[in-house]
Structure 1
Amino acid sequence: MKLHWLYGALFSGRKLAWASAGAMLLTSMAASAATEVRVWHSLSPYNKEVFESLVKDFNRDQKEVTVKLKAFGSEEEIEAALDAAKKRDDRPQLVQLDDDRAPDEVAGRSYIQPLHALLAKYPIKDAKWFLSEQNTFARDSKGRLVAFPYMVDVPVMFYNIDAFKKADLKPTVPQRAWNGLQDQLVTLANNGSRNCPLTSDQPVSINLENLAAVNNQLYASNDNGLKAKSKPAFSFDSMYIRHLSLMISWVRSELMVKPEFDSVATKRFAGRECAVLLSTSGNLGYFKNSKKLDFAISGLPYYPQVTQKPGNPFVGGSALWVTAGQSKDSDAASAQFLAWLAQPKRAAEWYQNTGFLPLTEQAFAQTDNGYYKDLGDWKQLVAANAKNPGANSRGFRIDNYPQIRAMFHATLEKALSGNQPAPTALNTAAVEAGKLMRK
């Protein structure tokens, strides 16, 4: 009997072991059956953490799709990797790219699938995009959305409230007029902010592109290149000359630190070294998370001599583009992930924690006034982008604009270093831009 009992126990134990092993095998098979969505991005370290947290929530919420992230140091690195991987199985399903002010060109690449084509098969229900359809960012010439507008930002003026208080400036907000701001910078420099009254990391955006948009002027001819009759041209008139001359004088008199890159300017502002920073709104979340930094946001400065009321700046940033040539299951999985990101709760979380513009109207509506309490004019600056933009701030279309922007950057660097007067720098830049457009 004992032998029989022992045999039965051993047999039962084996059945349990086999059942357990079978369950483990089924679990493993289920896990391996999940469709993988690879996402390449070049988010800043802080926004990268926010995105990773959202992706962890998505992967935890369901088992059908697994999102895997790969971070790059810049969008240029992504472009190079994408070009090398477009014929390999390890290319991503979603990739962060700028539309380069030529979204039709990006959407027409062999390895890109326009977002509207994916959404025609897998619609995102009930999502109402926040950006006005009149805004040209990530939209083709027919107004169709070609990419998921997820990392969209606008240039703004961040200011350190403590620095303004220390300088006894009342009210503790920067003036929007450039000349009025100059007077405040002198006071700030003489009262605690000598090392860095003002800095920026966006010289082309602030001093060329949005100098036009905020002053309600065209940036380029042919309605900023939106009319396809002929190539647009740059004409940097007296407004640009006077402005760049002013900026050169600010650098010389140490009211402004020359543009600083690779997060140098943002780190200095976060560390309370600089009183004013002209940068992108995508830094807002990083600054909110910075210890002891009391800051707020205003719109970019303008010239009352040119326009009575400042216009909106151009929308910029980047978007998630869908790659072409993926399987049906892969496309469905990508659409599922994008739809999840577009859910009001998730989209509101992304907006509030980063400073990128809201993805949807619902995300903006879900953000209560408590969020904006200490952020200055941020709510009004954001809300303006849901309305139809003015003719001068819808966007612009310029062929080979990445190369032109790089040339503009080098030209401004030379001028701000005191090596070239403003009229010469701007005239040279306009001529060189025309040549690059024709390439």
Structure 2
Amino acid sequence: MKFIPGAVPAQCARGLAGALLACALVTSAHAAVKVPVWHALQGHNAEVLQDLVRGWNRSQSDVDVTLRQFDTPEALDQSLDRAASAGTLPALAQIGNTHTLDHVARRPYVLPFHLLQGQAALKGTDWFLSSDNAFVHDAKGRLMAFPYMLEIPVMYYNQNAFRTAGLSPAEPARVWMELQGQLVSLANKGSRTCPLTSNLPVSINLENLAAVNNQFYAGADNGLTAKGLPSFSFNSTYVRHLSLMISWVRSEIMTRPDAGLRAVDRFAAGECAVLMSDSGHIGSFDAQRKLHFAVSGLPYYPEVTRKPGNPFVNGSALWVMKSDKPVTDATVAFLGWLSKPEQAARWYQQTGYLPLTKAAFNQTPDSYYQHLGAWRDLVAPYAQKSAVTAQGFRINNYPAIRSRFQQIIDTALDGQEPAVTALSSAAAEGNRLVRQAE
């Protein structure tokens, strides 16, 4: 994807960097301050980040940002713990919001981002994501980390596959049962091997089944209130939905979801007609010249809600590590540069992550969205106050809970147990693991 500049003229990179550093940093005339950044981005998005860092390093000589790439978020997290013990922490580290924000924020080596926002390089930045959204915001609406890799689940569709199947309009239905009819047509007319796939079985079939249908996912208002522990109770909507998904796998209009990247790769190669996955693949898909795709919202059940809600924000952010003042000031200068309209718009347009700032969104021209279907309309609501059911959720021990939910859903989709039994087991296991974390 080519970067499409916004309406504001690009400033001289060297001059901008110098202005930031003059406000935020006193450096040695002989040695650049090192700012190590650890991340687990792969493929296209890693290349976009590398290009941005190269641009920063070329623009000035006072701060040298270096990247270290990890194969998985888990490998990065394990290395962080070892680095904390050895005193070799990076300046910034990409950490996923696993809906246990407080657990990450309590790490002794983490510096809450909101403590740095008053510095000149960041002061006055108008962040895109509404402060009432629980993703990387604490209970007071303060940013705990630099909100750089935020994404939402979406429905991608291969436009050529829909045209070949003779579907009009050539886009997926937003109602689950109407989508079923389209998938049958796709399977019968050109997409037999893969009408639909996903790499987000828990996100699509549990978490965002609630949010998109304007329902709470867990008790205690998704764990965001102080009134007791959040609990799980999967009602008839979940039973109906999982039963439908089991029937789709059995009838081969859906390839069984998995949590890896195989589903994403198959869609990128043109093998699958529909993919439900995170928005952070938009840039990578757009770089595939032979792939003609667009984006739509996740389906909903009109019997449950008259209008679909917005799915939960997920993804990761850049957390600032505690360090000496020169390194912290240099880090702030770099983050301030990333937040400027030109860099922020480039990141949004080339990746598919949510906009970092309102300026990045507002200055992205209509031409960028022309071939992306409903992408702009899916993004825009996140700058506004969220519905209470879509503000996110915060549940202790959630990584373990999600892993267990994944196993249970896999068992159901494999036909080994009915939906009602699987969901009863999931609720019991989830509630046990929530209590275990106390």
Fold conserved (TM > 0.5)? yes
Runs (4+) of structure 1 exceeding 4 A deviation are: 29-32
Counterpart position of 1:82: 80
Q: Secondary structure at the match of 1:86?
A: helix
1:204 paired to 2:217: no
Counterpart position of 2:57: 59
Conserved in 1, the CA contact under 8 Å of 2:121 and 2:337?
no
Distance 1:387 1:120 in 2: 23
Equivalent runs, 1:318-357 vs 2, <5 Å: 318-324=316-322, 326-357=323-354
Q: Secondary structure at the match of 1:119?
A: coil
Counterpart position of 2:292: 294
Equivalent runs, 1:110-121 vs 2, <5 Å: 110-121=108-119
Residue deviations 1:204-224, cap 9 Å, x none? 110000000000001011111
Distance 2:261 2:345 in 1: 25
Equivalent runs, 1:253-332 vs 2, <5 Å: 253-324=251-322, 326-332=323-329
Conserved in 2, the CA contact under 8 Å of 1:31 and 1:63?
no
Q: Which of 410, 426, 430 is equivalent to 1:413? A: 410
Aligned AA (2:140): K
**1:104 Cα deviation (Å)?**
2.2
Where structure 1 has 5 or more consecutive residues not aligned to the other structure, the ranges are: 1-28
Distance 2:28 2:394 in 1: 47
Counterpart position of 2:427: 430
1:364 paired to 2:364: no
1:381 paired to 2:378: yes
Conserved in 1, the CA contact under 8 Å of 2:202 and 2:406?
yes
Conserved in 1, the CA contact under 8 Å of 2:200 and 2:257?
yes
Distance 2:313 2:97 in 1: 11
Distance 2:119 2:54 in 1: 26
Distance 2:172 2:255 in 1: 17
Distance 1:104 1:401 in 2: 12
CA 1:122–1:404: 2 relative to 1, 3 Å: farther
Q: Which of 66, 70, 73 is equivalent to 1:72? A: 70
**1:31 Cα deviation (Å)?**
8.4
Conserved in 1, the CA contact under 8 Å of 2:201 and 2:259?
no
**1:106 Cα deviation (Å)?**
1.0
Distance 1:366 1:62 in 2: 26
TM-score (norm. length: structure 1)? 0.92
Q: Secondary structure at the match of 1:87?
A: helix
Conserved in 2, the CA contact under 8 Å of 1:122 and 1:332?
no
Residue deviations 1:257-295, cap 9 Å, x none? 011343211111011100000000000000000121111
Distance 2:72 2:116 in 1: 26
Identity of aligned residues (%): 53
Higher radius of gyration, 1 or 2: 1
TM-score (norm. length: structure 2)? 0.92
Counterpart position of 1:103: 101
Counterpart position of 2:17: none
Q: Secondary structure at the match of 2:85?
A: coil
**1:121 Cα deviation (Å)?**
4.7
Conserved in 2, the CA contact under 8 Å of 1:104 and 1:141?
no
Aligned length: 410
Conserved in 1, the CA contact under 8 Å of 2:136 and 2:147?
yes
Q: Secondary structure at the match of 2:155?
A: strand
Distance 1:379 1:180 in 2: 23
Residue deviations 1:26-59, cap 9 Å, x none? xxx9786101111111112110000000000000
